[in-house]
A and B are shown apart, each in its own frame.
Chain A
Amino acid sequence: MRTKLLRFGPDALGKAGVVGSGRLYAAVAVGGFRRYATYRTATLAGVFTNTVFGVILASTYTALWDERPHLGGYDQSDALTYVWLGQALLTTMCVMGTGFEDELIERIRTGDIAIDLYRPADLQMWWLAQDLGRALFQFVGRGLIPFAVGAWLFDLTLPASPLTWLAFLVAVALGALVSYSFRFLVALAAFWLMDGAGIVQMTWLAGVFCSGMVLPLNVFPGVLGEVVRALPWAALIQAPADVLLGAADPVGTFAFQAGWAVALLAAGRFLQAAATRRVVVQGG
């Protein structure tokens, strides 16, 4: 298998292959987008549910900020904006899972991964392209409407400067990259664990808690707050929200997100190499 990998692997494509593989990954990304765009009823159902949760959370946050104005450096409308951003980015960032990782884990478990490794495409890049396509669809398809409803029902902080919005979009893109890199690591763990259910559940738990879905990370008290704000999950929702609300310096935020993305992608590379070299693929 190793010889085949060398022959058909992306490195073998050489310089001429760079343009070709760029086109390949673009096509995979478009496929990822269209795959999720197919299920319109499911998307609408999700939009509805995100909106209901947004209303519930926004009501509790209103009470919380009534009690303690300027909690965590946010005023009330900042806090409400945070709630609706969280609902909008929840599926984009796959905070609660159900992205490509379930599929990849299943392929590792069944041994289908062997076929993927023969393909003239890099495993990490292939799924990255697919996942970014998905993220773009869910940002547009599932994010915009709940956020618009939130802005209509509640008094939100919406910056006037288009530059701030642009910076926000960059932060969202970087957040999606961090989200992918982390979930790729989780999926590859299935090479050693065989059953991915346990680690997926742990990731889910950590994701929901540390991304700031249950409470903004700047409200977390003391050392706990400092720890969660330094973890990669802070790049998913807290970072884009702080850029939009002007609560954080965009350049510093980008650096934080990009740092985690590079570190996690490198770890993914390393794990992928180790997995393909040392692990016996499952299956018949």
Chain B
Amino acid sequence: MGVSGAVGTGVRTGSRAHDDRDGWGAWDDGPLGRWERVLDGVRAYRMIAGMWIRSTMAYRVSFVMTTIGNLTATGLDFLAIVLMFSRIDRLGGYSLPEIAFLYGLSAISFGTADLVVGSMDRLGRRVRDGTLDTLLVRPAPVLAQVAADRFALRRLGRITQGLAVLGYALLTLDDVHWTILKVLLVPVTVISGGAIFCAVFVGGAAFQFVARDASEVQNAFTYGGATLLQYPPGLFARDLVRGVTFVLPLAFVNWLPALYVLGRPYPLDLPEWVAFLPPLVAAGCCALAGLAWRAGLRSYRSTGS
């Protein structure tokens, strides 16, 4: 009861800012209208996420425990890599710090996307049980509502774990000749990578409008993608690397910029400047995901129950 009340008030305040519009007509407005609509979405997102954070913080011990659990759970795959390196010195020609560098970048980017829009994989369930209809009648962008739904602050665990592994990598990498360009590239990579993964989540959610029960397909690209990027590209079949470079451009999340920083050869004989493309690729992915989302939402037919 308190939960829906909070959303109600929040949204009402949000729409009062420009009450000349009902939020739906904004689709066809000029660039200014679209910009306002984005701000509107961000405002709604902040309010819904804030509400979920407050509700989480009502059970502080539970929050601390689940965050630690999340951190440990996401640390298991790094533990597996450490265990591997207890038996070997190099994997695919890469040392442990180099793999930790790839791992840290992948984990932080994926963790950020998971925190921001990770709840979107529940969309299929909402379509199935008809609760999506509730979101459609609220005067706030549906994308913001779905993304902020059940906002789980415990997902900070994965980001923290990624930061720790990246920190370990930066402290132990000794063959890297750091330049200003390389130093700047690291934060740019993390932000662009997060945006690319966000686009994958949104695109996956759009797909769930069509295939309601197929939410697990998305895991192959989100969790699977994040796992893939933890290892050097040389380990994987050429066609797979080609697929994640040109079709679903996950290679730009961390592989290409990280290989530039590490001074390692690129896969597929790509030119050196591709390391600087992640922001552009991220923008392109987000635009495509936005279009897919819009198409999915427009094709939505309620279950009618």
CB within 8 Å of B: which residues of A? 39-42, 44-46, 48-49, 52-53, 55-56, 59-60, 62-64, 66-68, 71, 195, 197-198, 201-202, 204-205, 208-209, 214-215, 219-221
A-B contact pairs, 25 of them (CB 8 A): A42-B214, A42-B215, A45-B214, A46-B216, A48-B216, A48-B220, A49-B216, A49-B219, A52-B224, A53-B220, A56-B224, A56-B228, A60-B231, A60-B235, A63-B231, A67-B90, A67-B91, A71-B87, A201-B66, A205-B69, A208-B73, A214-B79, A215-B80, A220-B83, A221-B86
B80 contacts which chain A residues (CB < 8 A)?
214-215
> Nearest Cβ distance between residue B200 and chain A, in whole angstroms?
13
Partner of B69, one of A45, A48, A53, A202: A202
- A49 near B212 (CB under 8 angstroms)? no
Closest to B215 in A: A45
Task: Knowing A53-B227, A68-B87, A215-B83, say if A45 contacts B73 (CB, 8 Å).
Answer: no
B76 contacts which chain A residues (CB < 8 A)?
205, 208-209, 214
Tell me, in angstroms, the Cα distance from A18 to B214 when the chains sit together: 42
- A204 near B73 (CB under 8 angstroms)? yes
Tell me, in angstroms, the Cα distance from A55 to B79 when the chains sit together: 20
Tell me, in angstroms, the Cα distance from A53 to B227 when the chains sit together: 8
Task: Knowing A48-B217, A198-B65, say if A53 contacts B224 (CB, 8 Å).
Answer: yes
Instruction: State the interface size on chain B (CB cutoff 8 A).
Output: 37
A55 contacts which chain B residues (CB < 8 A)?
237, 240
- Chain B interface, >50% SS class: helix
B66 contacts which chain A residues (CB < 8 A)?
197-198, 201
> Nearest Cβ distance between residue A216 and chain B, in whole angstroms?
10
Does B72 have its Cβ within 8 Å of any Cβ on chain A? yes
Does B136 have its Cβ within 8 Å of any Cβ on chain A? no
A220 contacts which chain B residues (CB < 8 A)?
83
Contact string, B53-86, partner A, CB cutoff 8 A, digits 1/0? 0000000001001100100110011011001101
- B235 near A41 (CB under 8 angstroms)? no
- B88 near A67 (CB under 8 angstroms)? yes
- B65 near A215 (CB under 8 angstroms)? no
Does B213 have its Cβ within 8 Å of any Cβ on chain A? yes
Task: Knowing A59-B237, A63-B91, A221-B83, say if A44 contacts B214 (CB, 8 Å).
Answer: yes
Does B92 have its Cβ within 8 Å of any Cβ on chain A? yes
Tell me, in angstroms, the Cα distance from A49 to B213 when the chains sit together: 13
- A64 near B91 (CB under 8 angstroms)? yes
Does B211 have its Cβ within 8 Å of any Cβ on chain A? yes
Does B168 have its Cβ within 8 Å of any Cβ on chain A? no
Closest to B230 in A: A60
A40 contacts which chain B residues (CB < 8 A)?
213
Closest to A49 in B: B220
Tell me, in angstroms, the Cα distance from A208 to B73 when the chains sit together: 9
Closest to B70 in A: A201
| B201-243 residues at the A interface, CB under 8 angstroms | 211-217, 219-221, 224, 227-228, 231, 235-237, 240
A62 contacts which chain B residues (CB < 8 A)?
235
- B231 near A64 (CB under 8 angstroms)? no
B228 contacts which chain A residues (CB < 8 A)?
56
> Nearest Cβ distance between residue B291 and chain A, in whole angstroms?
23
A205 contacts which chain B residues (CB < 8 A)?
69, 72-73, 76
- A41 near B77 (CB under 8 angstroms)? no
> Nearest Cβ distance between residue A42 and chain B, in whole angstroms?
4
Closest to B69 in A: A201
- A45 near B87 (CB under 8 angstroms)? no
B212 contacts which chain A residues (CB < 8 A)?
41
> Nearest Cβ distance between residue B32 and chain A, in whole angstroms?
41
Task: Knowing A201-B66, A205-B72, say if A214 contacts B77 (CB, 8 Å).
Answer: yes
> Nearest Cβ distance between residue B213 and chain A, in whole angstroms?
4
A219 contacts which chain B residues (CB < 8 A)?
83-84, 87
Tell me, in angstroms, the Cα distance from A214 to B62 when the chains sit together: 27
